Structure 1
Amino acid sequence: MNQRALLLVDLQNDFCAGGALAVAEGDSTIDVANALIAWCKARGDAVVASQDWHPANHGSFASQHQVEPFTQGELNGLAQTFWPDHCVQHTEGAELHPLLHQKAIDAVFHKGENAGIDSYSAFFDNGHRQKTALDDWLRHHEINELIVMGLATDYCVKFTVLDALQLGYTVNVITDGCRGVNIQTQDSTHAFMEMSVAGATLFTLADWQETQA
C-alpha cells in the first residue's frame, strides 16, 4: 500500500512577486498548490512543506562576498551561485505565501540554516553533509510516494526530487506547479528532463487529477 504525501517546496514570499529573489510567475504556483492540498486532504494524504530559512549572514548571499547577485563562485569547496539576500529567518520574505492554505500543512521543514553551506534540496544540504528532518518524518509516517511541486524548478525542486529518488521514494512532479529561476533560458526545461531521466514521473495538475485515484 502506497502512503503518499504532497511536498511543497519553498512557496515563500521572497520567491514570488515583489520578493528578493522573485521567480517569474512564482505566484501562479499557489493555486496549483491549493488544488493539490484539497485533493490530498480528501484522500487522507499528508501535506508537508519546505522553507528556506537562512541566517542573515548566509554564505550563499552575494552581499557577504561583495559580488553581484548571480555571480558564480565557490563556498566551502562547493560550486556556488551567489544569490540576493533572501528568506532570512523571521522576516516577511521567509514566510510562506499568504494565499497558501497553510492550516492544512502537517509539517514544515527548514533548510539552509547553516551559514557555511547552501541547501537547495529539502532533504540535504548541497554537500550531503547534513540531513534535514524531512526523511525521518516521512519514514516515521510510512510514506513512500511523493507529489512534488514548488519553487524553483531548476534549483530547490530539482535537487529535492533527485534526493528523494536516491532515498528510494516514488516521485511525481507537477510541472505547472513549478516555476524556475532560469539564469540560462532553458534551465527549467533541462531540470524537468533531468528529473525524468532520474526516474520521476511528470504530470500537469489536470493529468494528475484525471489519472490518479
Structure 2
Amino acid sequence: MNVKLGSGDALVIVDMQNDFLPGGSLAVPKGDTIIPVINRYLLLFHDHGRPIFATRDWHPPDHCSFRQQGGPWPPHCIATTSGAAFHADINFPINTQIISKAASREQDAYSAFTDTQMHELLQQAGIRRLFVAGVATEYCVLNTVKDALQHHYTTFVLEDAICAINLKPDDGVNALKAMTRLGATSIRFGGFVV
C-alpha cells in the first residue's frame, strides 16, 4: 500500500514517557527501540505541515489504577515527575499538541479520546485520517485506535513504531490483528509516498 500525506492527516504518538520505557516503573520491554522510527515519522509529518499529537498519562499520586488503590499497576506517570516526561531522545516539533489523559483520580483511561479534547481538536483541524504509533500496543495504542475508528477516522497503525508489553507472548500480535479486524490499516514507513 502506498499512502500520500494530505490536508486531513495527523500523527498521534501514544505515551512515549519515561515510565513506559526501559528503566521506568511500568516499562515496555524494548520500547526505546522504536524511538528512531518515531523520529522519522515526526520529521515526515512535520515536513508536510501536518498536525502532531502526543498523548501522555498524567496521573495524580493516588490514581485508581495504582496497586495501592486496588488497581493493577505500580505507580507510574505521576504528573510533573520525570517518569511522566517524554523520553529525551524523541524529537517532538515545537508545535506538537499534548493530550493529557487519566488525569483524575477516579478514572483510568487507556484511550487518547477518554475524557480529553482529542476529538474536538481533530475536528477543528479538519482531520479525517489518523496515523498512530507508540506504546503499549495492547493497551493505549489499541484503545486509541478503537476509539478513533468509532469516531469514524480512517485509521492507520504504524506497525514499525509500536511496541507491546507482551504479558502473554502474543499480546502485541493479537492486538494488531484486532485493530485490523476493526478496520484499521497496518502500514510501515516504506508505505509512504514522499
TM-score for both structures, normalised by structure 2: 0.93
**Structure 2 residue corresponding to 1:6, chosen from 8, 11, 14:** 11
**Offset at residue 105 of structure 1 (A):** 4.5
- What is aligned with 1:30? 35
Separation in structure 2 between the aligned mates of residue 172 and residue 195 of structure 1, nearest angstrom: 9
Could you tell me which of 116, 133, 152 is aligned with 1:132? 116
Paired with 2:179 and 2:94, the residues of 1 have a C-alpha distance of 27
Residues 176-212 of structure 1: CA distance to partner in whole angstroms, max 9, x if unpaired? Answer: 2111111111111110011000110001222x33xx3
1:47 to 40, 44, 52: 52
Q: What percent identity do the matched residue pairs reach?
A: 37
Gaps of 5+ in 2: 1-5
How far residue 43 of structure 1 moved from its aligned partner, in angstroms, is 1.3
| Alignment counterpart, residue 190 of structure 1, candidates 151, 174, 188 | 174
Contact 1:174–1:205 (CA<8 Å) still a contact in 2?
Answer: yes
SS class of match (1:39)? helix
Correspondence 1:121-200 to 2 at 5 A = 121-124=111-114, 131-200=115-184
For residues 77-156 of structure 1, the aligned pairs below 5 Å read 82-124=72-114, 131-156=115-140
What TM-score results when the alignment is normalised by the length of structure 1?
0.85
**Equivalent pair of 2:45/2:52 in contact (CA under 8 Å):** yes
Letter in 1 for 2:20: F
Instruction: Output the aligned Cα RMSD.
Output: 1.3
State how far apart, in whole Å, the 2-side matches of 1:114 and 1:175 are: 31
d(CA) in 2 for partners of 1:205, 1:56 = 38
1:68 corresponds in structure 2 to none
Deviating above 2 A after TM superposition, structure 1's stretches of 4 or more consecutive aligned residues are 102-106
In structure 2, the CA distance between the partners of 1:20 and 1:202, relative to structure 1 (3 Å rule), is: same
Q: Distance in 1 between matches of 2:79 and 2:144?
A: 21
Residue identity opposite 2:65 in structure 1: S
Counterpart residue type for residue 172 of structure 1? F
Give the structure 2 partner of residue 71 of structure 1: none
Query: Could you tell me which amino acid in structure 2 is paired with residue 84 of structure 1?
Result: P
Q: CA deviation at 1:42?
A: 1.6
Looking at structure 2, the residues matched to 43 and 102 of structure 1 have their Cα atoms a distance apart, in angstroms, of 14
Once residues 184 and 16 of structure 1 are traced to their aligned partners in structure 2, the CA distance between those partners, rounded to angstroms, is 18
Q: Unpaired runs of 5+ in structure 1?
A: 66-80, 125-130
Provide the rounded CA distance (Å) in 2 between the counterparts of 1:36 and 1:180.
19
Q: Secondary structure at the match of 1:103?
A: coil
Tell me the alpha carbon deviations over residues 100-126 of structure 1, each in whole angstroms, 9 at most, x when there is no partner: 1123442100000121121000001xx
Structure with the larger RCO, 1 or 2 (CA within 8 Å, 6+ apart): 2
Which amino acid in structure 2 is aligned with residue 13 of structure 1?
A: N
The residue type equivalent to 1:119 in the other structure is A
Q: Is the 8 A contact 2:46 2:93 kept in 1?
A: no
- How far apart are the structure 2 equivalents of 1:180 and 1:106? 24
